Every structure is written in structure tokens, then in C-alpha cells.
Homo-oligomer: A and B are copies of this chain.
Amino acid sequence: MVDKVYISETGDYEGREVLLEGWLYNKRSSGKLRFLLVRDGTDIIQCVVFKGDVTEQTFEIADKIQQEASCRIIGTVKKDDRSPLGYELQVKEMEIIASSEDYPITKKEHGVDFLMDHRHLWLRSTRQHAILRIRHEIIRAAREFFDRRDFVLIDTPIFTPNAAEGTTNLFETDYFGSPAYLTQSGQLYGEAAAMAFGKIYCFGPTFRAEKSKTRRHLTEFWMIEPEVAFNDLNDNMVLAEEFVTHIVKSVLKNRKRELDKLERDTTLLEKVEPPFPRLHYKKAAEILKNCEEDFTFGDDFGAPHETLIGEKYEKPVMIHHYPAGVKAFYMKRDPEEPEFALAVDMIAPEGYGEIIGGSQREDDHDVLLGRIREHNLPEEAFQWYLDLRKYGSVPHSGFGLGIERTVSWICGLKHVRETIPFPRLMQRIYP
């Protein structure tokens, strides 16, 4: 019996007869030859059908097979240095499993909406393969980084009982008669877990009902959030730069082919190495001022500001010490500059904007309670969170890295919509 193999394994079968199962990606003809590019998800192989080698029936199948029809092929693996795979298949027999009439995605240009409507089929293209394999590697490397350092994985809840920071950007659901909200971040729960396990990370989908139609916004996106007891802002920045470095190096090492496929210029990615530049907010504001940007000192940075600052550096840059007023209530303030929060954002180079947001957290019970009251937040909802400051409070810090923005940056994509298999945008929830 002939061995059934994946295309990625054909190199182990040189000179031998194998059975492949897959789909027709593309084909061309030349006299008595038919060249079929067949994909099976692991790779693409050129299958050469020579009229003199096969039955009339097989040649007719090779001649008529349509794009994306599924097929079963028996043939001999031959070395072929011209092909990206290094091997081709000399076909002996071939059959169609199922046809594919008028496959909607053809070689002509399609509009983005059309492709998005056909996302379930668009995923079959080599470009989407490259992006989603890089996404997988980013996620694998991110988990590996924390697993190797003995961080405990804590899956924080998606349903949260209270609209802790207002309901504006929250998705709400009816939870057996009471409202519940979909999480925007696992951080508060991560803090509880850090007090138990010392160093933890959570990693899951998060949700924002923002009415934004920018190229950086999804309503549903994945975030990985470490939280470490006894870490201060500086420790947090060291962790963040080592983490991002590990991710970038893993992709460069394990997904070179996919980066090539995307024609990604990796010059700057190869420079990603600690230390990353660190900028006090004041310094960042000065840069904007020197660029004659329209910016008021004390404000948060918008996407254009981040782009501008990010482009000044070859590596990701960490901006720290934001004005306390523009940052969340739970951030600790610098005792020596109490108008500034011990916050840090990491801005990717090449205009990709913020990929990390983090901070040292307020660890004083009374200060935190005051902050909750100042912000008119529901005190009752924060009882458990305040408990963490009542029973053995310690300095602690953490951050969140957005997966889709990181995929955008590393792949060099203009829009976040291709970074996730089935993107959810304000006006897009199909398929």
C-alpha cells in the first residue's frame, strides 16, 4: 500500500510513491503536460501530469480540475530545486473527491468587503496562511516565555458582574435576570491571582464596544496580561522588553518563510533587543512640541502622536510616567512626582502604535478607596479588589499586550482585520 503523506513531509519520501490528498490551488498547461499546484494546508506541491504516463481518464481529470476542487493523487516524489518546497510529484493516478464550481475568489482583484464576506474561503490563500501561522507563533512564543519563567496561567473570567469603569464601551448580556458585562481586561482578577501565585498571566479574548472604525480597532481581540507581585515600574519595563524580544526572535527564527511570503522587510525586527529606549512623558511631549505637533501637555497621546514618536526610534519605545489624569484609577502615582502615574505604554516602531499598556498598581487601601470615590465608581463592586490591599498588600505591576496589533506590526500589515481568523468589527460579524 502507498503511504498517505502530508505535502510538508514529502522530503522524507524522495523517489518513493506516495498518496496526497488536497485541493487544487492553481494550474497551467504546456502541450502534453499539466502542472497542478496542490495544497493540503501544510504546504503546496507542484504535481506534474505527463500524458504519456497516465490513463486517459487521469489526464482528463488533470485537464479539467477546477480551482479548490478536492483530489487524491498518487505519484512519485522527485527533487526539484526550482520549487519553493524543493520537491515535486510525478503523477501516476488521480481522482476528484469533490468538485468546486465557480470558486468565488479568483486571480482578479477583489474588494476588501468581498473578501471579508468570504473570509471562510479567503483563509485558503497563501497570504492568509502566512499571517495566521505567524499569529500562531506569536501566541506560542508568548506562552512559552511565561511558562519558562514559572508564571502560572490564570484564565480570568469573561463575565464580570459590574461595569467597573462605566458602561460606555461594554457589551452587556442578560445573566439569568441580572446584567453582566464582557471583560475588557483580566487585570483586576490577575492582581488577585498575583497575590496568590506571585507571578501569573492571563490570556484570552477581551471586548470593547467602541464605535471606532479605525484600522487598529476590533471589537473582539486577544490580550495576554502578566501580573507580578513585588515588581515595580522598572521591573515591569524590563519584563516587557524581554517579553517582546522573545516573541520577535521566535518569529524571525521559526517563521522566516512566512515573513518572506509577506515581503516583510525585517531589518528593524532584527534590531529588537533589550534595552528599549525609555521616555518620560515630559520628554515625549517635548518631541511632539519640536515637531510642531498639535498637542497639549497633559493630554494622552493619540494614534498620530504615537506614530510620530514610534518612528523616531528603530526599536519599540517605552513611554512612562503619564499624567495621572489620563490614566486609570488603579495606577499608582510616583511619590516624587504625584501628578504622574507609574504607567508605561510600549509603542512599536514603523508607525504601528501602542502594543503594550501597563503600570504599577496602587497598593495602598485608603488611597485606592479615595480614587474609587473620586471616580464615582461603585464601591460595592470593588470590595474584593480592595481586599487585596487589606490582607498583605504588596507593590505589584503588570501589563497587557494586544495580540492583533503585535501581529500587524510583525507582519507589516496596514489593517488589523487580517490578523485574526474571523475579525469582528463594528460593522462586521459575518461569517
Chain A interface (Cβ within 8 Å of chain B)?
6, 8, 21-24, 40-42, 68-70, 97-101, 103, 118, 120-121, 123-124, 128-129, 132-133, 135-136, 139-140, 143, 147, 150, 152-161, 171-176, 178, 180, 182, 189, 192-199, 204-205, 207, 209, 211, 219-220, 222, 229-230, 363, 384-385, 387-394, 420-422, 424, 426-427, 429-431
Q: Which of B41, B155, B363 contacts A420 (CB 8 A)?
A: B155
Q: How far is the CA of A69 from the CA of B392 in the complex (A)?
A: 4
Cβ B198 vs Cβ A426 within 8 A: no
Of A195, A198, A384, the most chain B CB neighbours within 10 A belong to A198
6 smallest beta-carbon distances between A and B, as pairs = A41-B198, A384-B431, A120-B192, A70-B392, A123-B196, A41-B197
Cβ B176 vs Cβ A174 within 8 A: no
Q: Which residues of B contact A384 (CB under 8 A)?
A: 118, 120, 430-431
Q: Which residues of B contact A222 (CB under 8 A)?
A: 155
CB distance from A74 to the nearest CB of B (A): 15
Q: How far is the CA of A176 from the CA of B213 in the complex (A)?
A: 13
Cβ A42 vs Cβ B97 within 8 A: no
CB distance from A157 to the nearest CB of B (A): 4
Q: How far is the CA of A345 from the CA of B283 in the complex (A)?
A: 61
Cβ A421 vs Cβ B171 within 8 A: no
Q: Which residues of B contact A69 (CB under 8 A)?
A: 391-392
Cβ A421 vs Cβ B189 within 8 A: yes
Cβ B172 vs Cβ A153 within 8 A: no
CB distance from A5 to the nearest CB of B (A): 12
Q: How far is the CA of A198 from the CA of B4 in the complex (A)?
A: 14
Q: Which residues of B contact A42 (CB under 8 A)?
A: 150, 198-199
CB distance from A238 to the nearest CB of B (A): 14
Identify the closest chain B residue to A194 (Cβ): B41
Of A205, A363, A421, the most chain B CB neighbours within 10 A belong to A421
Kindly list 12 other residue pairs between chains A and B, CB separation below 8 angstroms, not including A140-B143, A156-B422: A41-B152, A42-B198, A70-B394, A97-B393, A97-B394, A98-B393, A140-B147, A158-B207, A161-B429, A172-B173, A176-B426, A192-B431
